[in-house]
Amino acid sequence: MHLSEFDYTLPEELIAQEPLAQRDTSRMIVVRMQNGAIEHRKFFEIGGYLKDDDLMVFNDTRVVATRLYGHKETGGNVEALLMKRLSQGVWEAMVKPGRRVGVGLKLIFDGGLVADVIERTEQGGRILQFHADTDPEELIASAGQVPLPPYIHKRLDDPERYQTVYASADGSAAAPTAGLHFTPAILNEIRKRGIKTVFVTLHVGIATFRPVRTENIDDHEMHAESFEITPQAAETINSAKGRIVCVGTTTARCLESAAVAKRKVRSGAGSTRLFIRPGYEFKIVEAMVTNFHIPKSTLLVMVSALAGRQIIKNAYQEAVKERYRFLSFGDAMFLC
């Protein structure tokens, strides 16, 4: 299939630059996958579209990445996205401009932080050793900024608004944004009805924001992301009586990567490069809560594989016409 088949016109003013004051007051477009019928609702009304025997699966990853700004000792600005803490004061990072940041270089960041570039990773990143007069981890926490997607240009005052309320497993470079709409009250309401909830983990990589560049989507190479499903979570998923409702594309990728048969997953940890595109036969996911995605992205391709390309195209046209808020801090879609 051609990448141009997954394109649409996204007015820049519809890209949400900040979250709403209340998570669950976002709008929600409900799309019936059987016939493409559309309804317009608020997210706090999602309970009306859930069945008592549904199982809802969430991605509990927590964003740990942080962005630092500074300059090279030799001159020139530099930006570091800290991806993974390896030990006290030692981080794996992506740096810009990467080609000009070699091993042995000293980087000076805001807040009195200094880092030595001690190693280059196979993925093109750097290993940074931080130094400071006080605990470098405390300075990183205070000087670092939330690593928002490149299409968000407004600084986020409350970093927790880029975390789901159930985030617990450290390791992500970006939030699983479909989960940002959920509140403790909605989760309690769901559970009071007897609807089961379960958590899996997939750590979102920074490459999730990179566009597809191959016109033939079959030629696109997916980035690897790590995931884990506990034995208890696998048992709950494998014994589900009703629909398996997936919250977000990252959760879907986790579940489908761990699938061993229809409605059956294996437990354990692993890494996935699974690219879900039209023609893929879903084994686990039967309904999905998701956000609106970037044109020509792997995420838009995935939801098109689930609901059908024409149904998704129509839903996006309707969302643009009705002035929905798009992308990470935007409104929701429920494919059911």
DSSP letters spanning 207-239: GGGSPP--SBGGGPPPPPEEEEE-HHHHHHHHT
Query: Which residues, in sequence order, are CB contacts of 135 under 8 Å at separation 6+?
Result: none
What is the distance of C-alpha 166 from the center of its chain? 14
Mean pLDDT of the chain: 93
User: Are the C-beta atoms of residues 252 and 286 closer than 8 Å to each other?
Assistant: no
Residues 174-201: what's their mean pLDDT?
A: 96
In whole angstroms, give the CA distance from residue 248 to residue 289: 6
Residues 158-173: what's their mean pLDDT?
A: 94
Residue 112 binned pLDDT confidence (cut-offs 50, 70, 90) = confident
Model confidence at 1: pLDDT above 90: no
Nearest Cα residue to 93 out of 75, 70, 62, 68: 68
How many alpha carbons fall within 13 Å on the CB side of residue 224?
4
Write the single-letter amino acid at 57: V
Q: Is the pTM of this model over 0.85?
A: yes
In whole angstroms, give the CA distance from residue 275 to residue 221: 8
In whole angstroms, give the CA distance from residue 10 to residue 30: 20
**Residue 292 has what DSSP assignment?**
-
Q: Which two tokens stand for residue 141?
A: 């926490």
β-pair type (244-247, 287-291) = parallel
Domains by residue range for the chain, with CATH: 3-63+157-335 (3.40.1780.10), 66-143 (2.40.10.240)
Q: Which two tokens stand for residue 30?
A: 């409900």
Q: Which helix (H) or strand (E) holds 270?
A: strand 268-272
Alpha-carbon dihedral angle through residues 281, 282, 286, 288, given to the nearest 10 degrees: -110
Buried b (16+ CB within 10 A) or exposed e, 157-195: eeeebbbbebbebebbbbbbbbbbbbbeebbeebeeeeb
Residue 204 binned pLDDT confidence (cut-offs 50, 70, 90) = very high
Residues 162-172: what's their mean pLDDT?
A: 95
The tens digit of pLDDT for each residue in 253-306 reads 999 999 999 999 999 999 999 999 999 999 999 999 999 999 999 999 999 999
In whole angstroms, give the CA distance from residue 242 to residue 69: 49
Crossing angle for the helix pair 309-321 and 298-307, nearest 10 degrees?
110
Residue 140 confidence (pLDDT): 87
- Phi/psi for 54 (5° steps) reads -65, 155
In whole angstroms, give the CA distance from residue 157 to residue 161: 9
Nearest Cα residue to 186 out of 164, 218, 219, 217: 164
The tens digit of pLDDT for each residue in 50-80 reads 999 999 999 999 998 889 999 998 888 999 9
The tens digit of pLDDT for each residue in 308-332 reads 999 999 999 999 999 999 999 999 9
Residue 209 binned pLDDT confidence (cut-offs 50, 70, 90) = low
Write the single-letter amino acid at 99: R
Burial group, residue 38, by CB count within 10 angstroms (0-12, 13-18, 19+): middle
